[in-house]
Amino acid sequence: MGKTLAEKILSAKSNEDAKAGDIVIVDVDVMALQDGTGPLAIQQFDEMGAEKVARPDKTIFFMDHAAPSPRKELSNAHMMIRSFADRTGAKYSEICDGVIHQRLVESVTSPGDVVIGADSHTCMSGALGAFATGMGSTDLAVAMAAGKTWMKVPETIKVELKGIFPKGVSPKDAIIYFIGKIGADGATYQALEFTGQTVESMEMTDRFTLTNMAVESGSKAGIIAADDITRKYLADQGRADDYRPEFADDDGEYVETHVIEVDSLEPMISMPHTVDNTSTVTDAAGTKVQQVFIGSCTNGRLSDLTAVAEILKGRRVNKGTRLIITPASRDVYLDAIREGVAEELVEAGAMITGPGCGACVGVHGGILGDEEVCVATTNRNFRGRMGNPEGSIYLASPETAAATAVKGEITDPREFL
């Protein structure tokens, strides 16, 4: 019997013939932490009496949630991270470098890797044909010392995308649609494998959006085969040598298969306060919006900013609505400047902040006021997520967010295309 991508990678990294349901001890290739979860991992690492980090070159702390730090407590947390890195040889990514998951795909994760991160959206790295999953600080502390972790090999759900996206509809709409269909706990403990002709011809930037949100269905991982598009992406990142093909076996066993015909998809939106509370944008249209946030590891890449600039071209952000744009990484930020996209966005009335998690995590960079409504291109809309439990968050594509910024109310982007 053949294997799914999850079974293949976890077999290779455990030196066992791993099948869904098995408990395996795996070698960990990449250990990632951020400024919210890193300090607790450091405390636990010290409490264990550990001194050496097993893989210092692949143990990386990302200062992205509070970048730059808005409070002394967080500045101190950053100091703790830098000093731990200095003492153990672990690496850190500075406040100017970008969001953990974007930085991992740009520079760290390779096909076939096992990646664990003290951040739930670690699953994004799975788009590169890796097994990537989120865990807590203590699991990371143990893995930092051991270079290994334990896992239950997940069952896999196949998510097959067919057809060509209509104008104004994007992979973000597809993943919101899927989560609405399967539910916020529809794939708990399972892996999602995204396949089909639509995925096979999809650029990496869009594949990242799909795997980023896998955890919003409860999934442990979201995985996509490493193919020629992966190879080209890694080569563009100056990492051609990191490529290796990674495919599931044809006769791998899947617990379910979902087919999404993207030709018939419409722009989708997640309404307050859960990601699976979905609707078409048409049905939610007209709701007044005070803030639009474009950014995050889900949709803060150059292709997202370009899609927004296309809609904003020759138009202005509506009075009474503020548009905040946070590039996912320094590389994205630089490209947006070099290609003139940043200028177009600022001209249309957007505020561009430095790279990082920004307003997505409610620490700073765009906290909502009481009763305010935000449309965001991020991955979560839980009550209080953006810093105020009295605010409401809708999740949508960059195109829908841009159209909404222009009209000041939830708007179907197809009106502008």
Shortest Å, Cβ 10 to other proteins = 15
CB atoms within 10 A of CB 352: 21
| String of DSSP letters for 189-221 | T-EEEEESHHHHT--HHHHHHHHHGGGGGT-SE
**Quick one: 150 or 261, whose CB is closer to other proteins?**
150
**Quick one: 111 or 300, whose CB is closer to other proteins?**
300
Residue 79 lies near other proteins (rule: CB under 8 A): no
Residue 386 lies near other proteins (rule: CB under 8 A): yes
CA neighbor of 246 nearest in space, from 146, 378, 396, 127: 127
Residue 37 lies near other proteins (rule: CB under 8 A): yes
Q: Which of 111, 218, 295, 365 binds other proteins (CB under 8 A)?
A: 218
Shortest Å, Cβ 118 to other proteins = 6
Task: Quote the CA–CA distance of 291 and 351 in Å, as a whole number.
Answer: 11
CA neighbor of 227 nearest in space, from 260, 261, 195, 262: 195
Query: Helix H segments across 267-329?
Result: 281-284, 296-299, 302-312
**Quick one: 37 or 209, whose CB is closer to other proteins?**
37
Q: Which of 104, 142, 285, 312 binds other proteins (CB under 8 A)?
A: 142
Is residue 200 a contact partner of residue 71, using CB atoms and an 8 Å limit? no
Q: Which of 12, 54, 96, 146 binds other proteins (CB under 8 A)?
A: 146
Task: Quote the CA–CA distance of 163 and 146 in Å, as a whole number.
Answer: 45
Type of residue numbered 301: R
Map the footprint of other proteins across residues 254-293, applying CB under 8 A: 274
Residue 414 lies near other proteins (rule: CB under 8 A): no
Shortest Å, Cβ 188 to other proteins = 6
**362-381 mask for other proteins (x: CB under 8 A)?**
xx---x------------x-
Run of H or E including 182: helix 171-182
Q: Which of 19, 91, 148, 288 binds other proteins (CB under 8 A)?
A: 148
In sequence order, which residues have a C-beta less than 8 Å from that of residue 107 and are 6 or more positions away?
237, 239
Map the footprint of other proteins across residues 51-70, applying CB under 8 A: 65-66
Phi, psi of 88 (to 5 degrees): -110, -15
Map the footprint of other proteins across residues 100-129, applying CB under 8 A: 117-120, 122
**Quick one: 31 or 307, whose CB is closer to other proteins?**
31
Task: Quote the CA–CA distance of 80 and 73 in Å, as a whole number.
Answer: 11
Residues that bind other proteins (CB under 8 A): 23, 25, 36-37, 39-40, 44, 47-49, 65-66, 71, 73-74, 76-77, 80, 117-120, 122, 134-139, 141-142, 145-146, 148, 150, 152, 184-185, 188-189, 218, 220, 274, 361-363, 367, 380, 382-389
